[in-house]
Amino acid sequence: MGRLLLIDVMGAVAVLALWYLVFATYNRRKGSAALRWVQSACAGRGRVVAPRWMSSSRLHARLQFPSRWFENAHVTMKLRPRALPVQWLVSLWHKQKETLTFEADLGGSPSFHLQVVRHRWCAHSRGLTPRKRDDREWEVFQPGPIILTTRTHWKQDPSLELSALMTVRQQDVLQVQFRPESPQFSATVALDALSNPETAAGFLTTLRELAAGASAHRQ
């Protein structure tokens, strides 16, 4: 009995080790491909340096751009934790996206905190239809911009940085943040959105427009 239990344990350990090796390798290949997407999006105006795996599902790399663009720029990719079965199942259950987060300093500290989270579609039911009690008529609509601020006085005219943030709607950008401390600017995008060269190049353009808006705000 004890020998059979030992064999089962050793078999389980071997399966888990093989699982980790296969899916860790898969994540590394996907992360390397994503770095190539980022390098392609830079189109010779920047380059990826010093990539480093922080775990089997998290990849970090520095970016070098002209000084007038960004300072201390880097990206962090968060992939599904496929190498760890339990964490992978949890991420699938919560429908977590694989993301790339770009962080950098802007050459001057912004005088404001600003966080923008991409809006979602909303819907509500009109109730049961007379034909089938199981069917509901849904009304789907897109909410307008909502601004939450701690300022006691808010300018009604849209500022330059908020105008630039409207470009987020054209990209699969999930979150944008400005803050006085380093990193002063960050943006998170769904990783799959960068697989398209045009979309990847557009994302870099969006980052420059956002940074330019914040720089204009400081002047």
Residue 33 predicted with pLDDT over 80? yes
- In the chain, what percentage of residues exceed pLDDT 90? 21
pLDDT of residue 123: 57
Averaged pLDDT score across all residues of the chain: 76
Give 173's pLDDT tier (boundaries 50, 70, 90). Answer: confident
Question: What is the three-class DSSP state of 209?
Answer: helix
What Å distances lie between residue 40 and 45, 197, 211, CA to CA?
Answer: 10, 7, 20
What Å distances lie between residue 189 and 75, 118, 139, 165, CA to CA?
Answer: 11, 10, 28, 14
pLDDT of residue 76: 94
pLDDT tens-digit profile of 87-144?
999 999 988 889 999 998 887 666 667 777 665 555 555 555 555 545 556 666 555 5
pLDDT of residue 22: 93
Residue with more model confidence, 78 or 164 = 78
pLDDT of residue 119: 53
Give 47's pLDDT tier (boundaries 50, 70, 90). Answer: confident
Give 69's pLDDT tier (boundaries 50, 70, 90). Answer: confident
pLDDT of residue 52: 93
Q: Is the pTM of this model over 0.85?
A: no
Q: Which long-range contacts (CB under 8 A, 24 or more apart) does 145-149 make?
A: 145/119, 146/119
Tokens found for residue 38: 């980022």
pLDDT of residue 105: 86
In whole angstroms, give the CA distance from residue 184 to residue 104.
6
Residue with more model confidence, 37 or 207 = 37
Strand partners, 60: 52, 76
In whole angstroms, give the CA distance from residue 143 to residue 136.
21
pLDDT of residue 18: 92
Residue 183 predicted with pLDDT over 90? no
pLDDT of residue 108: 67
Tokens found for residue 134: 């199981």
Residue 6, judged by CB atoms within 10 A of its CB (0-12, 13-18, 19+), counts as exposed
